[in-house]
Amino acid sequence: MNNNQANCPSYDNIGFQHEEERRPPSYAPQPGLYPQLPQATPSYVAVTSNTINTHHTVIPGTLQSTGQKKGIKKCHWRQILCASLCVLLILAAVGVLLWYFLYYECLLGKSCTTGGKCLSPSQWCDGVLDCTHGEDESQCFRLQGTDFMLESYSSESQMWRPVCAENWDNNYGRAVCEQMGYNRQDYVSYTQISAGSLASKGYMKLKPGTNHGSRIQSQLTYSQSCSVRAVKLNCIACGQSSAAPSTRIVGGTEAASGAWPWQVSLQIRGQHICGGSIISPYWILSAAHCFQTYSTPGMWMVYSGGVSLLEMSFSTGKTVNKIISHKKFDRKTNDNDIALLKLSTPLTFTRTVKPVCLPNIGVDLSAEHQAWITGWGALRSSGPSPDKLNQAQVTIYSRETCNTPSVLNGEITETMICAGKMQGGVDSCQGDSGGPLVVKEGDVWWLAGDTSWGIGCGQRRKPGVYGNVTYFIEWIYNQMQNE
């Protein structure tokens, strides 16, 4: 790809184009950069709707007093009216208090997503299914940092704490990984690791006499100390490349076989439409805009393990069983541009077919980190697409930088990341949509973004825009758990 293109926005995928003005389709975020989901309590609504570039007109209501003094004979009615207004005000105050405690408080993470059932904080992650769909017990474990340290949510203190490895074994590890959304057969192992500064919070430790038959969170209790170390848990062997990247995508180079084993080609009738990333044998992460026109799973085939589209066409692709696009994807702003594909049959992992790691809490993917983008997209805006997978190194920029008027002028929301080169010449382009933006930390590769949109391809001060995978991490795990 090169940077010879027009100054109008265009799309990153050739399969779907809404409006002719934009190019769409190119965790934990650090304070002041990309927003981080609340960590004090588990959140079961992963994303809130945001609207950009729209104008809201607020029409203020008017309070008009129509009462007039009519003389002494009307005092009786004024007293009745005043008493009535006092009663109404009291009822309104009671209503507001009821709304606050029964509705607003539940929005803070204490209500079931269906049925409106409000639960006390102590009912979350207590091992008892109180919500119809079990969401109160669905986000009770998470992995911390590049060391994959296991943390459990305490329903008593409403805090995340490291899990003590006392009496822990691989059966508990498999159960936790399966509860998080991974398949038992993908489980790798557990080891022990120092909790470091997090040990000051205390630990969640298995109760005496526990067994493997019930939910793990009901078998954990708070302990100030741990006689061994914390649990390090590997649910899946992810983020391992079989070849080092060389360094051009726009301004990139052809990729070596095995360098990006999570990259897939999403095709319709033998034509490459979008990219995607392997996150488990059954799951591919891509961009929602790829599936707005072509939303039937049976239309799509997933090809993996190669760098040449021609060579992969002779292999057998995987059929798609289900497409889950984010319900709050906005076609106009490209907010919430993320989707998951569930395959009909699982991928077999090899040297050239491997998953990328989903971001753990505390993994630094913030601004100024160097990242890599890959894809079979056009080599220039509206130009030809290559047969070989291309790669390029880019810089992640802060949302503040991206939203300056001379760059992307306020269009980057909390569901997005922008990355590229301010001098231009390196970018994703049409056909790269849904593909990975990855960062290497702690010797593994993390999926920071999915290619979403941009203005042209490789233009100066117009970096590409990617879905912020960290922002969506709970949404991703929820889909994996529920399917």
Cβ 228 vs Cβ 164: under 8 Å: yes
- Residues 239, 257, 353, 372, CA torsion sign: positive
Please, which residues have CB within 8 angstroms of residue 338's CB and are 6 or more apart in sequence? 285, 286, 287, 288, 325, 326, 329, 415, 450, 467, 469, 472, 475, 476
Cβ 55 vs Cβ 391: under 8 Å: no
Calculate the alpha carbon distances from 422 to 249, 368, 467 in Å. 16, 12, 19
For 104-111, the CB contacts below 8 A with 24+ separation are: 108/41, 109/38, 109/41, 109/42, 109/43, 109/44, 110/41
Classify residue 101 as exposed, middle or buried by CB count within 10 Å of its CB (0-12, 13-18, 19+).
Answer: exposed
In 3D, which of 353, 355, 238 has the Cα closest to residue 285? 355
433 is catalytic: yes
Q: Identify the active-site residue in 136, 335, 337, 427.
A: 337
Q: Identify the active-site residue in 304, 433, 450, 452.
A: 433
Three-state secondary structure string covering 390-443: EEEEEEEECHHHHCCCCCCCCCCCCCEEEEECCCCCCECCCCCCCCEEEEEECC
Q: Identify the active-site residue in 272, 289, 326, 369.
A: 289
Please state, in angstroms and rounded to a whole number, the distance separating the CA atoms of residues 204 and 14.
50
289 is catalytic: yes
Please state, in angstroms and rounded to a whole number, the distance separating the CA atoms of residues 157 and 163.
15
Assign 465 to helix, strand or coil. Answer: strand
- Active-site amino acid positions: 289, 337, 433
